[in-house]
Amino acid sequence: MNTDSILVVDDNRNVLSALRLLLSNHFGEVTLLASPKTLIATIKTKNPDIVLLDMNFSSGINTGNEGMYWLSEVRKLDPTLPVVLFTAYADIELAVNALKEGATDFVVKPWDNAKLLATLQAALSLRHSQKEVKRLQDKQSTLNQAWFGDDEVCWGASEVMRQLLAVVEKVSQTEANILITGENGTGKEVIAKKIHQLSPRSGESWVSVDMGAITETLFESELFGHVKGAFTDARTDRAGKFEAANNGTLFLDEIGNLSYPLQAKLLTALQSRQITRVGSNIPIPVNIRLVSATNRDLYRSVQCREFREDLLYRINTIQIEMPALRERREDIAPLAEFFLNRFARKYNKNLKLGRDAIRKLEKYEWPGNIRELQHTVEKAVILCETAVLSADDFILRTKEKESNAATPEAISLEEMEKILIERALKAHGNNLSAVAAELGVSRPTLYSKMKKYGL
């Protein structure tokens, strides 16, 4: 049953009676007012989804000023509440001016029932979209508080990180699109969040999208949203990630994994600064700050015709390269201490790092970068039985172990799967489409497994 409610304001009793009969079949609640004097109070108590407002109420006066006045009062109370105006044919120019003042639409008297219902339905769809976007933004705000609530981050004290953070502070204050590059596990998303926190948009939504995990069939729905009935499972209108990030920051992680055909659709949205929901023809303007990240060499991908050059320059006003952990070894000890303290608190232990453990950690190459260091420290904290972590408490990958891992009978199925993916990635130069085809899996499945194994 339709639960939408409408408030109708008209001084003509015959008009009110006719509208009650017409609208009762299409709205869950129809409230009628013969005078606008109680309009604001009624909106506060009834909380209607839409208002149908006449423009003239005093006998002999047809200036429309009354309608304009009450329109402004409704807008002051709730700028998002759709207001559709009733107007005589001679007042169309006045009604057009009312649109500039915030009216959603207008209907000319005498009205056509089908056109009136269509106008009201369009206004309702706008209302539902606004509510959905607000719901998503509120949800995102809650997630942001969880994500950003703990500002405790260890950046390290190396010269390369000091220079990088100086650049981050400078570019955060601009609206420039930023591309963050670097190996897996180097902290690209952490830097992206830092940019948002330092930007003028820090009080607005932060929306993160893992581009490698979105299937081609759901790409437009996820990013641009859809309207009810657009496809089989589209039971309600749904806002996409672009709308949820409106006025805030949109982070597109692993953008290099986006397939070539979908890159054109993304480029169109970024260039026009508007999106169109699947199943709709109405463009919706969006105001986002774009930050992207990838572990791929996009310039090489452009040469190989795997990434659009025009999209690369659109997302890459400023490029920030995250250094690998092995390139800033002086930060390994501070990071290890940072993670040790975090996990000691988590597992209710009182622990310290031994000097031999620090030396072992500093000599290791860390192919998985900071993420691998974090997992290694957590594992050591969980398994240790002494107050001081020694070198023996840290289990690190070695070339000897990797060589032994090539023996099928000595490894698990998961380890074998990881080896196969590593070999295919190396053979195809990290071309995910070619790797997925060779292994007989979809791109999202391949990407999910790469995330699982830290590849």
- Helix orientation angle between 443-453 and 432-439, rounded to the nearest 10 degrees: 100
Residue 145 lies in a domain: no
Task: Answer yes or no: is pLDDT of 215 > 50.
Answer: yes
306 and 341 assigned to the same domain: no
Q: Are residues 316 and 171 in the same domain?
A: yes
- DSSP helix/strand/coil, 352: strand
Q: What is the SS3 assignment for 365?
A: coil
Decide if 285 contacts 233 (C-beta within 8 A).
no
Lowest mean pLDDT among 33-37, 293-297, 387-391, 410-414: 410-414
Residues 245 and 180 in one domain: yes
Indicate whether 312 and 211 sit together in one domain.
yes
The answer on 317 and 194 residing in a single domain is: yes
Whether residue 389 sits in one domain with residue 415: no
Same domain, 416 and 302: no
Whether the per-residue pLDDT at 1 is higher than 60: the answer is no
- Per-residue pLDDT at 372: 93
Contacts of 171 (CB under 8 A, 6+ apart): 178, 195, 318, 320
Q: Is the pLDDT of residue 409 over 80?
A: no
Instruction: Give the pLDDT of residue 214.
Output: 84
DSSP state of 238: B
**Torsion angle of the four alpha carbons 395, 399, 402, 403, in this order, in degrees rounded to the nearest 10:** -140
Query: What average pLDDT does the structure give for the chain?
Result: 85
Per DSSP, the chain holds a count of helices (H) and strands (E) of 19, 14
Render pLDDT for 13-30 as a digit per residue (tens, 0 to 9): 899 999 999 999 889 899
Main-chain dihedrals φ then ψ at residue 335, nearest 5 degrees: -65, -40
Please tell me the least confidently modeled range out of 33-42, 212-221, 414-423.
414-423
Kindly state whether residue 175 falls inside one of the protein's structural domains.
Answer: yes
- Separation CA 286–CA 136 (nearest Å): 15
CATH number reported for the structural domain that contains residue 411 in this entry: 1.10.10
H-helix or E-strand spanning residue 312: helix 309-315
Q: Is the pLDDT of residue 307 over 90?
A: yes
The CATH number of residue 306's host domain is 3.40.50.300
Supply the pLDDT for residue 405: 45
Tokens 């009733």 belong to residue: 86
Same domain, 222 and 350: no
Q: What is the pLDDT of residues 253-301, one digit of tens each?
A: 999 989 888 999 999 999 999 999 998 888 889 999 999 999 999 999 9
Flag whether 136 is in a domain. Answer: no
Phi/psi zone of residue 229: left (φ > 0), alpha (ψ -120 to 50 degrees), beta?
Answer: left
Q: Give CA–CA dist 414/392, Å, rounded.
A: 25
Predicted pLDDT of residue 151: 55
Distance CA 325, CA 196 (A): 23
Statement: residue 219 has pLDDT above 70: yes
**Distance of alpha carbon 353 from alpha carbon 333, whole angstroms:** 9
The CATH number of the domain holding residue 79 is 3.40.50.2300
Distance CA 300, CA 305 (A): 9
Q: Which of 374, 393, 412 is the last residue of a domain?
A: 393
Q: For 327-381, how does the pLDDT look when each residue is reduced to its tens digit (9 = 90+)?
A: 999 999 999 999 999 999 999 999 999 999 999 999 999 999 999 999 999 999 9
Contacts 24+ apart (CB under 8 A), 9-17: 9/33, 9/35, 9/36, 9/39, 9/51, 9/52, 9/53, 9/54, 9/70, 10/34, 10/52, 10/54, 10/86, 11/35, 11/54, 11/57, 12/54, 15/54, 15/86, 15/109
> Of the candidates 269, 290, 321, which is a domain's last residue?
321
| Tokens matching residue 154 | 């260890």
Single residue among 84, 111, 128 that ends a domain in this structure: 128
pLDDT in tens, 223-263: 999 888 888 877 788 889 999 899 999 999 999 989 888 99
Of the listed ranges 33-42, 93-102, 381-390, the least confidently predicted one is 93-102
Task: Return the top range by mean pLDDT from 116-130, 141-155, 287-301, 392-406.
Answer: 287-301
Residue 138 counted as domain residue: no
Asked if residue 242 and residue 107 are part of one domain, the reply reads: no
DSSP calls for 251-297:
EEETGGGS-HHHHHHHHHHHHHTEEE-BT---EEE---EEEEEESS-
Whether residue 142 lies inside any domain: the answer is no
Could you tell me if residue 244 is inside a domain? yes
pLDDT per residue over 54-73, tens digit each? 887 766 556 667 888 888 89
In a domain, 271, yes or no: yes
- Domain holding 219, by residue range, is 153-321
Asked if 114 and 34 sit in the same domain, the reply is: yes
Instruction: Over range 73-83, report the average pLDDT.
Output: 89
Instruction: Compute φ and ψ for 428, nearest 5 degrees.
Output: -105, 15
Same domain, 315 and 349: no
Q: Taking 60 as the threshold, does the pLDDT of residue 303 lie above it? A: yes
Residue 323 pLDDT exceeds 80: yes
In the numeric block, which tokens belong to residue 390? 């020694």
Question: Of 162, 191, 447, 153, whose CA–CA distance to 319 is shortest?
Answer: 191
Q: Classify residue 443 as exposed, middle or buried by CB count within 10 Å of its CB (0-12, 13-18, 19+).
A: buried
Whether residues 386 and 420 fall in one domain: no
- Span 137-158, average pLDDT: 63
Domain tally, the chain: 4
CATH of the domain at 364: 1.10.8.60
Query: Is residue 411 domain-resident?
Result: yes
CA distance 193 to 251: 9
